[in-house]
Structure 1
Amino acid sequence: MLNYPFPEKPAAGDVIEVAEGVLWLRMPLPMALDHINLYLIEDHDGWWVVDTGMDVGATRDLWQQIFDKHLRGKPVKAVVATHWHPDHVGLAGWLCDVWRAPCYMTQGEYLTGLVYTRAAKEHFGWSNEQHQVRSGRGQAGIDSARSSMGGVGRITHAMPTSYRRLEEGTRLTIKGRRWRVVVGSGHSPEHACLFCESLNVLLSGDQVIPRITSNISVSGLEPEGNPLKAWLTSLERFLEVLPDDALVLPAHNTPFTGLHHRLRYLIEHHEDHLIALEQACMTQPKSAVELLPVLFQRELNEQHIGLAVGECVAHLNYLYQRGQLERTVDAEGCYRYRSIDDTLPMRLRKHRHRAESADPIRV
């Protein structure tokens, strides 16, 4: 089970100290997931900001309240962006300019962020169109994806013009404590988490979240990508290199303990989806859009369907590249998937037995 040691959440413009010298704050998001958790780490001569919020609404004003009330007369000396998504990097350029502070990111995240924040509708090319058709969305998907091209740039301040590279094992010394970079992948290309052994604290970004599952998605930028393979590999490695009793400070929901429990739940969650997709493709070939009800038992609106299709394609690419699904192209140019692994009936029996006999891993 997971434990949540902080029943109260920080109010807008305020902070809660969750470990010595580590402050938790929140910024609003204009979507169903209505918040992001951000963190400040105190150094001798300033503060390290971990993630930034989007460049929308009152976020800059709320940051100014944080500066005025909680920095104890010390400047922001560094900005760390765990990954390129706009709720994490949206104000990195602004914060770095205001404080003349360096930005720390992995190379994969920094370069991907530059691509997405500078994209415009005219960059939507034939390969993007083909990806929508291949997924089964057709012209409606093409129109929706084209209209959203450039949306990231509208909620992200211009990216910092330089960065300091984080890599697996990079160590940052902050107020005499060592924070080790642990890199995950799948949700984004090269997601940086920070672990402090002396505090037993993990800043997990979107790599580990307690109550929701991070989106693992294939887009038209890399239509044959296999992010789910990278995601599952990352989760398995985190089980090996990070302690179960760490205090996890995620980007969404609330801080928690029970890291290994959550990692095992996430692995099983995706394994359940994979076998369900194989089963759904046993009788006749199906498209990604036709398979959405296998993964999502709720009605999807236009805001969510693009991410949902991307997640479904991520699972299908994983199975196809493992040789468990056959993929053909129909007359409309849409990919159709059929199960071809003759071990599937045996695996389904084992899966049902495990589901019936084992206690579920609960969040």
Structure 2
Amino acid sequence: MDAFYASVEVQDNPTLKGKPVAVGGSSDHGIITTANYEARKFGLHSAMPIFMAKNLCPNAVFLPVRMKRYKEVSQQVFKILYEITDLVEPVSIDEAYIDISFIDSDALSIAHMIKKRVHAKTGLTLSIGISYNKFLAKIASDWNKPNGIKLISPDMIPEILLPLPVKSVHGIGPKSTEKLNNIGIYTVEDLYNLSEEFLVELFGKWGSDIYDRIRGIDNRKINTERERKSLGTETTFSESTKDKNTLKSYLHDFSIEISDSLIKNQIHGKTITLKIKYEDFKLKTKSKTLLTDIYLAKDIYEIALSLLNEIKLDRNIRLIGLTISNLSSTQAEQLSFLD
């Protein structure tokens, strides 16, 4: 999806149309989650501190995250994808791979149909990449944003990739980009001229994947049953706080949300993790692993409170999150701790 959170906000409030909009909170202590394309013209981007964004673009509209609303719109989009094929691999709330190789229709026609249906249902735009493997489809999806379509065919490889900066290669993050830049590697063409052995020495096993993928080789299949390793939720406060009752209220709501998801997916877990982030962006986590599985909200909340009590609330907190992990499938009824 194109600038998903911000686009949802503009769609829900048409008076924001044409204005620079950033989602993530209104407090100077927050960070941007998503900036729309009008805001990006001023240099605003995700993970940028809001105080910095306000200096770059004082006229921008800063809004808090409304995750429940974004999930609603996401479900509408994914429903459209599943109407086309069951071979859908969600990557995040607003991104997915789909396999249409078995459908007897032109790929571009299917892409245009998806865009038309999504816009009719949600009023939003998305960008689609089409290719013969996941790596190239991902690169193509970023090619003509926003509201773009790009097709990369086998005969275009490797020439079409060579001028791209190394950071455009999916999997090469900021640290890897810096590491490559430090040895004079700035483009995919520079990367292409390195041996596989050198890349393995630099990045470990991932080096072989990089070597293959910039040559158009990626044999990964669509994974429709990705194993869930954890389940959780978090929120960034519009105003930082160290009020314990406020934090407890959020943990109570998180526990209910997590419990509902566990029951819906017929899974339970043993490890509860509390995450907090202070105003200075320092992160602290506390975890507890139980001997028995849980999925009831009251039990999740009880553990969350015990973890909160272990944290010294001597300074303001800007983010709180709760996660359950060590998951397994269950058909059994959980007994409460009292039972």
Q: What's the TM-score bracket when you normalise by the shorter of the two chains? A: under 0.3
The TM-score normalised by the length of structure 1 is 0.25
Q: TM-score, normalised by structure 2?
A: 0.26
